[in-house]
Homo-oligomer: A and B are copies of this chain.
């Protein structure tokens, strides 16, 4: 399983991804799911991938080759980030089609992508590219996207993320969302990659690769954990007056 998330706030974009891949519990490996496609001072484009590892790698490989071969359409020449999303979707679909034709025994070549970045002259953007090849932009009010095992880490994003959030808090929120997911699902695991891109910088931004015993990640986790426990002490007490409850034989409580 995989968990990747992208948060786009007014001042920049935060990307987070885990590194665990598995094909059954006895075939667990570590692969990066965060791929920086380009960062040349004019455009910064990064891809997060979830799903079939062969498909994901083929997409990244093809994108790199198209730049090298100076293909008509490549991540350096495409005008907008939406065009890049369409381009990535086309490669992904073509790659999946090859293998879907070959086997039909439960094997699943599908992959999902989050495309994030900025091209000079445009705003920063984040897109989710579905396995089918269609894609969406994040909503204005809840400007985040997730792929993979998304449910455990969604509540904290739902509660906290808004366009006005500062970049530092957005990054911490992404890490807390990842930590919640890892605690609840063993198939999502470290190292955790984090990229913090400042809007209009067109530079790479700050990149972190946190191992499982990383000191900062542990401090963050401990602080969050302690604060959640403390928060319960400050929640309002349950009302002292409760209501009678009907029992199924029709009587009510004493």
A68 within 8 A of B: yes
A159 partner, pick from B151, B153, B183, beta carbons under 8 A = B183
Interchain CA distance A234-B219 in the complex, whole Å: 11
A224 partner, pick from B63, B216, B235, B254, beta carbons under 8 A = B235
- Taking a contact as CB atoms under 8 Å apart, the answer to whether A225 and B159 are in contact is yes
Interface string of A150-161 (1 = CB under 8 A from B): 011111101110
- Taking a contact as CB atoms under 8 Å apart, the answer to whether A60 and B248 are in contact is yes
- Stretch of A4-12, A22-30, A123-131, A239-247 that contacts chain B: A239-247
- Taking a contact as CB atoms under 8 Å apart, the answer to whether A245 and B158 are in contact is no
A234 partner, pick from B156, B160, B181, B223, beta carbons under 8 A = B223
Interchain CA distance A33-B145 in the complex, whole Å: 33
Residues of B within 8 A of A173 (CB): 232
Residues of B within 8 A of A247 (CB): 36-39
Interface string of A171-206 (1 = CB under 8 A from B): 111001000110110000000000110000001101
- Taking a contact as CB atoms under 8 Å apart, the answer to whether A155 and B172 are in contact is no
Residues of B within 8 A of A196 (CB): 238, 242
A77 within 8 A of B: no
For A, the interface residue count at a CB cutoff of 8 angstroms equals: 65
Q: Which residues of A come within 8 Å of B, CB atoms?
A: 35-39, 60, 63-64, 67-68, 151-156, 158-160, 168-169, 171-173, 176, 180-181, 183-184, 195-196, 203-204, 206-209, 216, 219-220, 223-225, 227-229, 231-239, 242-249, 253-254
* Complex A-B: 18 CB contacts under 8 Å: A36-B245, A36-B253, A152-B155, A153-B155, A158-B180, A158-B183, A160-B232, A168-B238, A169-B232, A171-B238, A172-B232, A196-B242, A204-B245, A206-B238, A216-B236, A223-B236, A224-B231, A227-B235
Closest 7 CB pairs of A and B: A151-B151, A206-B242, A207-B245, A155-B180, A204-B253, A227-B231, A64-B248
